[in-house]
Amino acid sequence: MSRQRGKTPRKTNKRPSQTDPVEVYCRIRPLSNDNEEVCVKALSTNVVQLCPTEASHAYKMGNIKETQYTFQYVFDKYTSQKAMFDHTALPLVEDVLKGKNGLLFAYGITSSGKTHTMTGHPHDQGILPRCLDVLFNSLEEQQTKKYVFKPDKMNGFDVQSEADAMVERQRRDLMPKLMKTPQTPRSKDKGAFCDSGRVKDPSRVDGVEEDNNYAVFVSYIEIYNNYVYDLLEDLTYDPITGLKAPTSKNLREDSDHNMYVSSAVEVEVKSSEEALEVLWKGQKRRKVAHTALNTESSRSHSVFNIRLVQAPLDPLGEEVYQDKDKICVSQLSLVDLAGSERTNRTNNEGSRLREAGNINQSLMVLRTCIELLRENQKFGSNKMVPYRDSRLTHLFKNYFDGEGKVRMVVCVNPAGAEYDETVHVMRFAELTQEVQIARPQQVRFDIGLTPGRRRMNQQYKEKLAKMKEDGLEIPTPERMYSMGPPFPLMELFEAHDNATLLQLAQFLHDREKRRASLVPDLDTKQDQFRNQLMEIEEENVKLKGRLQQLESMLGDKDTEITRVGRRIRTLEKENRQLQSTAHAYEQERRELNYEVSEKDSKLTQLRDKRQKMRNQFEYQMQVNNQQWHKNMTAEKNKIAMEAAQEIAEKEQKLELLKSIVNNQAPLSSGSGSQYSSTPPITPKPRPRTQTISTTSSAKPKSRYIPPARSEPDLSIVQGGTQYGPKPAIRGRPTTRDTHTRRGASPPAVKPKPVVNPRYHRRSRSSHADIWIDHQSKGTVETGTILQPTLKKKKSVSKLEVADTKEATRYMLTHQTADSDGDVATNLIKGDIIPTATGGSAVIFKDVETLKQTSPGERKRKSKEQKPEENDGEWTDVETRCRQGIGNFLSSKKSKGSRV
């Protein structure tokens, strides 16, 4: 085998030694109207003449010169589709069977017969259906079963065994048919190409490699508006919007630098009917529109790819050789180009106009690539060919670089009105013939195995079947070699019978050639067998040494096992002892846990008992306090009454004494003695000073209680002696109330309201400036006495630049809690000054701290304590801290008074 191919051959930088020109064929379609003027005439099978008509633009401009163009072959209007196929496409099918690539595309203006040439109709098929017929006629029974070859999604193929292929056939073909319900049968539209009246092409290609297995894959794409679409892609159906639009595909380059359409669907077909069903499915989705020149004008370039995968059989001739590198892939691309057209003749608008522009642009890029290729080959230049300017040229760049044969069919409409467009087509077609394409190398499929394996396998199977029918014992299969057919007749009837001698010589030559091909195989087998024997002997020696090493290691292992066994028994004994100890510890732990639970229960009961006793004691103390207060009140009232009676008696005695001193005769009594007596003087009730005591269990807010104002004293002054209650000491309230004489009940005196004389005192921060009072959300109102008074202020919770334009001072309120839980409010103050950039800046210069504390707990007084002592105390503290550049300025503290 000279060269092994995987997919298509890799490109080389060496200049090919043999080249072939691009073969261009011209086909003239019949006129739709026989009375119409013609501008194209076929002078011979190779020359065509083009003459302008009076309706053409060239004739009007004075160009009436006739031109002739030479092609590979010229087909007139009487040429059949069969003759067209035999000259153009049949050699490409032969190359595909031999492992070579081929490209055939139809080129021409719109309505020139390109689609008819490529597809035709069922009773007179075109190039594409005939290629499929000839291909499957030539393969016959040499095709593999389905899914033996699988596309690897990277422009290559994988090979799998017959068993794996059968499993995949069941999964992909058999199971869907079994799962399909009979209520919803799926109708299959086979299309016009699959009708029973279709005339198949009976041609076939001889010389197909008999020891290879083949598989055919087809794909169908279109290039529309310079986008690549897969015509075989299964589109999902949306019940609301209908079928979803197809997605465009990308062009990729495989490992051998061959271009392919990524994610394109490749269908494995086993007959021409299946392939035509795929063709019909794609034809229904191809972009076709009605124009002024053609009722069914193709608006896209369609590409139908036929890929033939072949691989040799295994040495027994039973299955495909399981080696991916031995796979050979050849491709035949049949392209139906969209026709070039002029807008002033088709009157296209909207989307038709855009389609025509894209079609003409892609054809122009194709022409530019052909011209640059010709220039590079003719003048030896190295100009870059713009393949990437169009998807059409980018896809087929490998063919123009020498990866297969390229043929073009130029379809011509001979109508006189088409002269101006036909001239450009003829010039481009004649220019294309000058491009040289490297001749593809011959591919040989001999991989060193015995030829005729398939035939020998069939003979072996037939012999086994016959022996099975006769009841004979089936022998063990052995390797079979064949030297070819038996010798021909060697009898000479004449002395000059050269035909028999030549036939015998040819037979001997073939037999010697076959023997020469078998001798290397025999040598290879002998070398392989000798190598295997040497490998077995070396392996045997290695195994013997390894065996001895393992035996010594085994003895060491036995000793180690004995030692480890003794160690294990010792450890098991220790383990049992530890388990018994652990069991004892576990029992002790349970007992301790039980004791702990009992103690916890007792502690809980004791705690509950103490809590109950505490609650009872608190309740009893509360009752005793109430009773004590009640007894104290009664005792106080009793003492007050006794004191009032005593004072009244003393005053009565004093009056009597006054009367005696003033020589007043007492009035006479009933006993005959008369005394001078004055009526008893009832003293005016003196005012009562109310005692206000404050007790609280919670921490009240700080308040200032001013001293009570005293009422005027109504005591009587007699003889320089002052009678009546003692004046109350400032700040120390009396415990006893002042009652009226002789047991009179004390008058009800309302408590005077508490007035804070410093309530309206202003903070030192008050002035006439405009302040920004910045208090964040969640600031607690403390109610301290010394609050700053700001006449002009703007209260904000979030500072903004607009708020500082008119203000001059700034105060930020910040609250913290000290260790005692009291709230301390810090008033951070500063000046607002403008900046050079038009903004504002704040310079902090002062910090004031407002702190509020709770009074101390009220302590219970003993009986010996004087009633005038303080029962409670309220404090109001304000601390002001001024800080200017780190210096403490002042601190102020004020304290309330007792009432």
Rounded to 5 degrees, what are φ and ψ at 17? -80, -35
- Report the alpha-carbon distance of residue 812 to residue 808 in Å, rounded: 14
Q: Which amino acid is at 685?
A: P
In the block, tokens 């008050």 appear at 766
113 labelled ligand-binding: yes
Q: Which pair of tokens denotes residue 811?
A: 């105060």
Q: Which pair of tokens denotes residue 334?
A: 């049949």
In the block, tokens 């896809």 appear at 395
The DSSP bridge partners found for residue 849 are 826, 879
Q: Which amino acid is at 844?
A: F
| Start-to-end CA span in the chain (Å) | 127
Q: Which of 154, 98, 127 is nearest to 266 (CA)?
A: 154
| Residue 746 neighbours by CB distance under 10 Å | 16
Contacts of 120 (CB under 8 A, 6+ apart): 81, 126, 127, 129
849 labelled ligand-binding: no
Q: Which pair of tokens denotes residue 823?
A: 């709230």
Burial class (CB in 10 A: 0-12, 13-18, 19+), 410: buried
Q: Which pair of tokens denotes residue 447?
A: 């991989």
115 labelled ligand-binding: yes
The DSSP bridge partners found for residue 848 are 827
DSSP 239: T
DSSP string covering 176-205, please?
HHHHS-TTS-------GGGSTT--------
Rounded to 5 degrees, what are φ and ψ at 567? -65, -35
Question: Please, what's the b/e burial string for 839-876 (b: 16 or more CB within 10 A of its CB; e: otherwise)?
Answer: eeebeeebbbbbbbbbbeeeeeeeeeeeeeeebbebbb
112 labelled ligand-binding: yes
114 labelled ligand-binding: yes
109 labelled ligand-binding: yes
830 labelled ligand-binding: no
339 labelled ligand-binding: no
Contacts of 162 (CB under 8 A, 6+ apart): 145, 148, 319
The CA angle 344-349-354, to the nearest 5 degrees, is 95
Binding residues for ATP: 108-115
Binding site: residue ranges? Answer: 108-115
